[in-house]
Amino acid sequence: MNIISVDDGSNVLIFDLITGKMEFRFYQAHGSNRITSATLDSSKRRLITACVSGTIKMWNFSNGAMLQDFTEDN
């Protein structure tokens, strides 16, 4: 089981709940924009993040690959 944390530097950090160790980090997931929310989909395979600019991104939770970028331009 994991804990997901976001910071003002637009980083997403994944920690192991039992050991407390950081397992993975998505660096500057939204560039320099502060992330405002993060959630997993029902299968826990996709991480969805949103930032102050209104951009939403979907990530492969197991390897950190960005799968889709939802912006006003799409």
Structural domain of 51: 2-70
Q: What is the mean pLDDT of the chain?
A: 92
pLDDT tens digits for 3-38? 999 988 999 999 999 999 999 998 999 999 999 999
Closest listed residue to residue 11, CA positions, set 27, 24, 33: 27
Residue written as token pair 């992330």:
35
Please state the domain count of the chain. Answer: 1
Q: Which CATH number is 57's domain given?
A: 2.40.10.480
Report yes or no: 47 and 12 within 8 Å, Cβ to Cβ. Answer: yes
CA distance 10 to 41: 20
Closest listed residue to residue 16, CA positions, set 28, 36, 1, 26: 1
